[in-house]
A and B are shown apart, each in its own frame.
Chain A
Amino acid sequence: MDAMAGRKPAVVWALNISVVLLVALWLFPTLGLLISSFRTGDQITASGWWSSLFPAEQTMQIRVADPDDNRVDLGNGRFMVEGNIFEGADFEGELNAWGTSSRRLGEFETGVTADLGDGETLTVEADGSYVWEGDDDQISGRAQRVFLDVVTPPDFTLENYSFVLFDENNSEGMAKAFFNTLTVVIPATIIPILIAAFAAYALAWMDFPGRAILIAVIVGLLVVPLQLALIPLLSLHNAIGIGKGYLGVWLAHTGFGLPLAIYLLRNYMVGLPRDIIENAKVDGATDFQIFTKIILPLSFPALASFAIFQFLWTWNDLLVALVFLIDASGQTTVMTKQIVELLGTRGGDWEILATSAFVSIAVPLAVFFAMQKYLVRGLLAGSVK
């Protein structure tokens, strides 16, 4: 191709650039969320997530140990305080240089003995150990201040996750909501696919009166907004005793997902070669056998792509869950609802929000990456043979 065309046409470049832009547009916020979820609240407010990936240079101001308590008499009127400057401070990193005045930061290399005047000396080693020496007057009163130039490595913590997922005292944790969401999503994905596959086969390959009208009705149902049905459906659920609960939300998701599922699957199945199905009929297969042995295996890309769609939007659903599932007890809350509540109660705690958000997008991400080839194939289904 290259040899023939010589140069790539401009449109190819435009395509490549826009793909890169789209990928970046998607990647950076996701990555930011992921990284933020591993940082403490202080780190998030202090610097952006991108800077946390690299070692940070900073200046620390620390006093050496209190001379009145710690000084050692060396004789001849000389006294000394010895210790580690990082003692008691939670610090990991590398000490590059130090100084004793805020005006002259990094004045001394590590290991150098600095003359502080009148025979007073201070030595700070690279590992933070120091020796402060002087006469009685100098080594007393307030401890010497040291300004340290340090480089801290990237620092991440799993604490947010353990708080959000595993802390039993945390009433706003995501663990329960996570499993509630799974409880909603898995049946709400499988049930409509089961029903729709049968319906799609019948609408595609079985002859019965009124088939065309039924298909038209299903296409019509595609454009009915689900908000329209919320209240009537809820009162129906209450009237027949389902009330609010998992069964209700499964039924609701199934109902709202079915028109699209039937439509997609029927369009795919009707494109399967007629000869294959006729041959199976001549071979003596019943309609049910044709469906299970021939149609279902051949329709796998379409089934998978619809499964992904249904999974993703029931996972992200808030409205249907609010109407049909979540009651006053709060025991059946789902993740979307939980995050809405977190925004209210913990609006400032970005680390909690980021972690909770990432917990809620982790499963869709995994599903998407595992199944993306079926998603693309299923979207193209019917348009390309």
Chain B
Amino acid sequence: MSGVTLNKVIKRYGDVQVIHGVDLEIADGEFCVFVGPSGCGKSTLLRMVAGLEETTEGAMHIGDRDVTRMDPSQRGVAMVFQTYALYPHMTVKDNMGFGLKMNGHPKSEIEEKVAEATRILKLEPYLDRKPAALSGGQRQRVSIGRAIVRGPEVFLFDEPLSNLDAELRVEMRVEIARLHKEIGATMIYVTHDQVEAMTLADKIVVLRLGVIEQVGAPMDLYRDPDNKFVAGFIGSPAMNFVNGSAKDGAVVAPGLAASYEGMINAAYEGKALSVGARPEHITINPAGDTHTVEMTESLGGVSFAYLAGATGERIVVEERGDVRSEEGAKVGIEIDASRIYLFDAETEMRIRT
């Protein structure tokens, strides 16, 4: 009903192209997260959906309406900004009712909708305060409330939690997830924090330099990345990459001090590869002596050991349990061959076998 469809969307500032033909389909009621390093164009894309940035080329639909050239107010979207963007001279109540008032809704209806949003966000005690008298978390709730009140088809969040401290961020994350369940509207959420992306999203869109690298459910991206960028971007700590090559049908990875048979077809014979393995899939064998433990970070439940192999490439290994390795120790590593990800070193694309 009110999904969002982008069709070859391009954005140029003068001669500089920042969004390079994005195709994307977001289903009705879906929670879609745009994620990527800073400068990847995720905020620009969101603002194009909002209508705050003009779409240079391509088409954009919300539901079955073509909104490509529409004004922001006609698109049926509501936006939550990183800076909250509350009107400082209005009370919480007036802030939330502003959008409806501008569109000429009757007073009683505004009251009703504000009351409803207030109830959902538990903002009742603050209705008559000005934004300056609210804490960061409360301000962001008001900002979300303002979006709810307008009853939009699509909610747009532009890094809404970046200005909050760590604890509040977790709280608000849960709140937003709950809100999505309760309202069920389509939401597009921009963040550079992959924890937010993984926990909130039905669908993650990984962007780099104005191009979509991969679209998929969080765990699909995690388990089955299409390329080296997505593999490295999703997951914390990031996936380990070492140089390798295909030799006689086997993958040789000196950095891991191992070779894997039957993983690759003959077409790649002799080519350079990038071999990836996630920290949690590597186990340390204290009996071995192929790697040196350079440093360990202990977080309690887990610790991360930073190993250096013979090639000098560094590998991060996650350790759990009672026995953790010590700095300076000589250890070996073991990886289940099925947990290895292979990438073409040149194109960085995944080599699936």
Chain A residues in the interface with B (C-beta under 8 A): 273, 275-276, 278-286, 289, 293-294, 297-298
B103 x A284 contact (CB < 8 A): yes
Residues of A close to B77: CB separation below 8 A: 282
Given A275-B82, A279-B79, A286-B102, 12 more pairs with CB closer than 8 A: A275-B81, A276-B86, A278-B85, A279-B81, A282-B52, A282-B72, A282-B99, A283-B73, A283-B102, A283-B150, A285-B73, A285-B98
A-B pairs with beta carbons under 8 Å apart, 14 shown = A275-B81, A275-B83, A278-B52, A278-B72, A278-B85, A279-B85, A280-B87, A280-B98, A282-B50, A282-B72, A283-B73, A284-B99, A285-B73, A298-B89
B102 x A282 contact (CB < 8 A): no
A282 x B78 contact (CB < 8 A): yes
Judge if B262 is at the interface, Cβ distance under 8 Å. no
A281 x B52 contact (CB < 8 A): yes
Within 8 A of A (CB), among B198-239: none
Q: How far is the CA of A180 from the CA of B141 in the complex (A)?
A: 55
Main secondary structure of the interface of B (DSSP, over half): loop
B304 to chain A, nearest CB (A): 38
Residues of B close to A279: CB separation below 8 A: 79, 81, 85, 146
Q: How far is the CA of A297 from the CA of B94 in the complex (A)?
A: 14
Residues of A close to B78: CB separation below 8 A: 282-283
B83 (CB) vs chain A CBs: closest residue? A275
Judge if B184 is at the interface, Cβ distance under 8 Å. no
B99 x A294 contact (CB < 8 A): no
B50 (CB) vs chain A CBs: closest residue? A282
Chain B residues in the interface with A (C-beta under 8 A): 50-52, 71-73, 77-79, 81-89, 98-99, 102-103, 146, 150
B102 x A289 contact (CB < 8 A): yes
B88 x A298 contact (CB < 8 A): yes
B89 x A282 contact (CB < 8 A): no
B83 x A273 contact (CB < 8 A): yes
B94 (CB) vs chain A CBs: closest residue? A293
Residues of A close to B79: CB separation below 8 A: 278-279, 282
A276 x B85 contact (CB < 8 A): yes
Residues of B close to A285: CB separation below 8 A: 73, 98, 102
Q: How far is the CA of A276 from the CA of B88 in the complex (A)?
A: 9
B75 (CB) vs chain A CBs: closest residue? A282
B315 to chain A, nearest CB (A): 43
Q: How far is the CA of A297 from the CA of B90 in the complex (A)?
A: 10
